[in-house]
Structure 1
Amino acid sequence: MKLETMRELLLDELQDLYSAETQITKALPKMAKTSTSPELKQAFESHLQETEGHVQRLEKIFKHLQESSKGKTCEGMKGLLKEGEERIKDGGEPEVVDAGLIAAAQRVEHYEIAAYGSVRTYAELLKESDVANLLEQTLAEEKSADQKLTKISTTVNRKAKAA
């Protein structure tokens, strides 16, 4: 799709994020099920609930903009999640798999942080303050999830090293 305006770019990126978040809602239960660390399992389950909220927030944005959320597949997220699935399929020492799941999850979070930061800025430039505020809420939650994973990794990585 040829993008001619900042609004078209905003909508394209929002559709990409909608696809990404929808894909994540399918991946997180698998990651939680695979994890042997109770703290990591809880983080994945908690982030699933947050991610479902992100989807709802995006739907609210599309309704506000009177646009459709459909029409795009986020290939970047598809690739990141495929790597996470490979980590699960490969198996191994449970603690090492948990460390790998954290790395995969943080790649996802960093992708989302970059995407939400960009679209929030686009919304601000377009004077869509309601949209920008909703995107900022999600951006803050993504940053918090990344920080939580970093904290959990200190324990999980030590256990993985000892395995």
Structure 2
Amino acid sequence: MATISTLSDLYISELKDLWSANDQMARALKKITPQATNAKLSQLLEEAQTGIADHTQLLKALIANQGEEVSKEHCKGMEGLVSEALKHVLEQPPQNGPVLDALIIAQYQRMTHYGITGFGTVAAFANALQMEDDGRQLKDAVDDLYDADELMSELAEAAVNREAAEE
């Protein structure tokens, strides 16, 4: 990790950290998605993987546009969230399908909330650095993450949690 002495340095470091976080979440979702028993949940998880790939391409472009080496810095925060998700979903899963689906949604949302805060933070940095185009693109990514999170909440509240409660 490079020495951070300016907001610009911090901005680049955080972009690289988010790239790592995205990659880790994408790998986790590839393992978690086949475990989902609810068809809508499976669909949303597949769509999330596409969104993560799009956001990763954005991060790479923003790093390159700063004239920086296009590389990532390992994100220990997401590492912990992914470890927990995989432990609960793959190593110690509930046997009941709806309860497993509720667990998958909870783990997905934890990882997504990490992304919301990370992308929101770098959007604020970009705006402070008067990089309005970067800020707008990052804010769009935040909006995408909020939308995905909201869809998961709606699915949980309308179906999955109710089904899990009936078991």
TM-score (norm 2): 0.93
Unaligned 5+ runs, structure 1: none
| Offset of residue 3 of structure 1 | 2.1
Asked if the contact 2:122/2:138 (under 8 Å) is kept, the reply is: yes
Q: After TM superposition, which residue ranges in structure 1, 4 or more long, deviate above 4 angstroms?
A: none
Q: How far has the Cα of 1:68 moved from its partner? A: 2.4
CA–CA distance in structure 2, aligned partners of residues 20 and 69 of structure 1:
15
C-alpha distance in structure 2 between counterparts of 1:68 and 1:82, whole Å = 28
Number of the residue aligned with 2:164: 160
**Contact 1:14–1:69 at 8 Å: present in 2 too?**
no
Aligned to 1:90: 92
Contact 1:109 1:142 (C-alpha < 8 Å) held by counterparts: yes
2:153 corresponds to which of 140, 150, 153:
150
- Quote the Cα distance in structure 2 between the aligned partners of 1:140 and 1:24: 18
Post-superposition Cα deviations, 1:6-28, rounded to whole Å, max 9, x if no partner, equal: 00111111111010011112111
Distance 1:16 1:55 in 2: 11
- Structure-1-length-normalised TM-score: 0.95
Given candidates 129, 141, 150, the residue that maps to 1:126 is 129
* Aligned CA-pair RMSD: 1.1
Aligned mates of 1:47, 1:20 — CA distance in 2: 14
SS in 1 for 2:74: coil
- How far apart, CA to CA, are the structure 2 residues paired with 1:68 and 1:20? 18
> Which amino acid letter does the alignment assign opposite residue 90 of structure 1?
Q
| Unmatched 5+ stretches in structure 2 | none
